[in-house]
């Protein structure tokens, strides 16, 4: 089975759907992985790190035509068209907020796993991307606020704001 990791197409997106470490874990499990060249660059992951982890570097078309495609953000129209029939797309979709996107995806013979629709229960905790992204956003908000404040905070203040 081939897993594809394309570069994120949304402007300003710096995340990537898999790190070299997680790619290494997939390869150890026996999967073949193709990572679009430059997919991890905005996250400071060089193509060479993915190659060392056992992935192959490829084009956008190669990553999007894999059996399973991992993305951070929902695909655009061109990416939806590039998905091969019977592929599985794993991504943040926001189905309740994007009925047009759901319609476009349902017109294709593919399976879509909306990571943001996974229930936030203990059995599904390992799939909970919303909590981890909220944690990162909160951490960054405190760091950005401290920078904008322009002076030192008095007392003991951690990055979590306590």
- Give yes or no for a contact between 112 and 95, defined as CB atoms under 8 angstroms apart: no
Domain boundary among 101, 117, 133: 117
- Do 130 and 92 share a structural domain? no
- Order the strands of the 88-91 sheet from edge to edge: 56-58, 32-36, 2-5, 68-70, 88-91, 111-114
- Do 23 and 98 share a structural domain? yes
- The C-alpha atoms of residue 40 and residue 48 are separated, in whole angstroms, by 10
For residue 60, what is the domain's CATH number?
3.40.50.720
pTM beyond 0.85: the answer is no
Structural domain that includes position 146 = 118-162
- Do 122 and 110 share a structural domain? no
pLDDT digits (tens, 9 = 90+) for 67-117: 999 999 999 999 999 999 999 999 999 999 999 999 999 999 999 999 887
The CA-based angle 153-157-159, given to 5 degrees, is 110
- Do 46 and 23 share a structural domain? yes
- Do 111 and 74 share a structural domain? yes
- Do 160 and 89 share a structural domain? no
Domain boundary among 82, 99, 117: 117
What's the pLDDT at 160? 64
- Do 77 and 110 share a structural domain? yes
- Do 45 and 108 share a structural domain? yes
Instruction: Please state, in angstroms and as integers, the Cα–Cα distance from residue 30 to each residue in 1, 86, 89, 95, 157, following that order.
Output: 8, 20, 19, 31, 45
- Do 35 and 68 share a structural domain? yes
For the chain, how many structural domains are there in total? Answer: 2
- Do 90 and 38 share a structural domain? yes
Question: Six-digit token pair at 18?
Answer: 């898999």
CB atoms within 10 A of CB 103: 9
What's the pLDDT at 161? 61
- Do 103 and 29 share a structural domain? yes
- The C-alpha atoms of residue 15 and residue 145 are separated, in whole angstroms, by 22
- The C-alpha atoms of residue 161 and residue 138 are separated, in whole angstroms, by 9
pLDDT digits (tens, 9 = 90+) for 145-160: 888 888 877 666 666 6
- The C-alpha atoms of residue 76 and residue 135 are separated, in whole angstroms, by 27
- The C-alpha atoms of residue 125 and residue 66 are separated, in whole angstroms, by 26
- Do 123 and 109 share a structural domain? no
């Amino acid at each position: 089975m081939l897993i594809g990791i394309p570069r994120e197409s949304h402007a300003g997106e710096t995340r990537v759907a898999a790190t070299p470490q997680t790619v290494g874990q997939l390869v150890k499990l026996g999967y073949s992985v193709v990572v679009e060249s430059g997919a991890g660059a905005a996250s400071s992951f060089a193509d060479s790190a993915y190659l060392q982890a056992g992935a192959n570097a490829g084009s956008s078309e190669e990553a999007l035509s894999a059996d399973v495609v991992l993305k951070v953000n929902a695909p655009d129209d061109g990416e939806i068209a590039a998905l091969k029939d019977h592929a599985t797309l794993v991504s943040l979709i926001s189905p309740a907020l994007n009925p047009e996107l759901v319609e476009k995806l349902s017109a294709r013979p593919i399976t879509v796993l909306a990571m943001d629709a996974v229930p936030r229960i203990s059995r599904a905790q390992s799939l909970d991307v919303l909590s981890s992204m909220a944690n990162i956003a909160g951490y960054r908000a405190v760091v950005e606020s401290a920078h904008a404040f322009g002076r030192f905070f008095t007392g003991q203040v951690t990055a979590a704001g306590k």
